[in-house]
């Protein structure tokens, strides 16, 4: 089960993406949400929706919105931990496979939440997106596509499909 990026059930590209880049992006998101919940919350939509023409800063947040930003930041930390646990620390390739399946389901839910939360006109207005919206939508689509491609063996044969070098005693996925 040794891949080129340490002990992992994943081929090299998915190992880099899901074991290192995704957890790093989640840590950055956690920092953004926890360090400045006002800016983090305001940047979920284009500035034309959150800042009026007469002001240069977002309006004050309702305390519940601040609480939700802090909660989301802590959830980012938990998800980063799950990603590392299920892609790097586990010795069972099936854990990695099921993590990718559940994360792909979460990607769909995340995209739907953004779509319904911001409305179709904002969701499809790529030219107005800010960096947070690109992370919320475009990066999620890239992760979803790569999860499905990995599960389908596009990047190479994952360990749960009996790849060469997997540990003895781990049953093959059929």
| Statement: residue 169 has pLDDT above 70 | no
Please check whether residue 48 lies inside any domain of the structure. no
Distance CA 119, CA 129 (A): 13
Instruction: Single out the residue of 25, 17, 13, 15 nearest to residue 132, CA to CA.
Output: 25
Tell me how crowded residue 29 is: count the other CB atoms within 10 A of its CB: 22
Domain membership flag for residue 174: no
Give the per-residue pLDDT at 2. Answer: 45
Per the listing, tokens 């990695």 go with 96
Domain membership flag for residue 57? no
Q: How confident is the model over 108-163, as pLDDT tens digits?
A: 999 999 999 999 999 999 998 988 899 999 999 999 999 999 999 999 988 887 64
Q: What is the pLDDT of residue 49?
A: 66
- For the cut 60, the answer to whether the pLDDT of residue 168 exceeds it is no
Residue 78 has a CB neighbour count (10 Å cut-off) of: 11
Predicted pLDDT of residue 61: 81
First-to-final CA distance of the chain: 17
Mean pLDDT across the stretch 7-34?
A: 94
User: Quick one: tokens of 158?
Assistant: 């994952």
Helices (H) and strands (E) in the chain, counts: 9, 2
Number of domains in the chain: 1
The pLDDT-based confidence of 6 (bands split at 50, 70, 90) is low
In a domain, 52, yes or no: no
pLDDT in tens, 29-80: 999 999 999 989 988 888 776 555 455 666 778 889 999 999 999 999 999 9
What integer pLDDT is reported at residue 55 of this predicted model? 57
d(CA 76, CA 139): 15
Residue-number span of the structural domain to which 82 is assigned: 12-42+62-168
Domain-located, residue 132: yes
Within a domain: residue 164?
yes
Question: Within a domain: residue 55?
Answer: no
Output the pTM of the full model.
0.82
Q: How far apart are CA 21 and CA 32, in angstroms?
A: 17
Output b/e per residue, 125-150; b: 16+ Cβ within 10 A. Answer: eeeebeebbebbbeebeebbebbeeb
Distances (CA, A) of 62 to 10, 58, 100, 114: 43, 12, 35, 20
Domain membership of residue 49 (yes or no) is no
pLDDT of residue 32: 94
Report the pLDDT value the prediction gives residue 158, as an integer from 0 to 100. 82
pLDDT for the residue 67: 94
């Amino acid at each position: 089960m040794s891949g080129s990026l340490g002990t992992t059930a994943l081929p090299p590209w998915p190992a880099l993406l899901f074991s290192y880049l995704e957890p790093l992006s989640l840590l950055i998101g956690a920092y953004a949400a926890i360090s400045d919940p006002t800016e983090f919350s305001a940047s979920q939509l284009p500035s034309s929706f959150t800042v009026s023409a007469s002001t240069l800063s977002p309006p004050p947040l309702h305390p519940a919105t601040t609480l939700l930003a802090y909660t989301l930041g802590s959830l980012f930390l938990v998800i980063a931990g799950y990603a590392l646990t299920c892609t790097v620390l586990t010795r069972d390739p099936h854990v990695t496979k099921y993590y990718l399946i559940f994360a792909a389901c979460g990607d769909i839910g995340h995209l739907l939440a953004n779509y319904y939360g911001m409305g179709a006109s904002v969701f499809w207005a790529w030219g107005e997106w800010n960096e947070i919206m690109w992370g919320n939508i475009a990066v999620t689509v890239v992760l979803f596509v790569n999860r499905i491609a990995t599960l389908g063996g596009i990047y190479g044969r994952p360990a749960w499909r009996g790849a060469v070098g997997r540990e003895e005693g781990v049953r093959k996925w059929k």
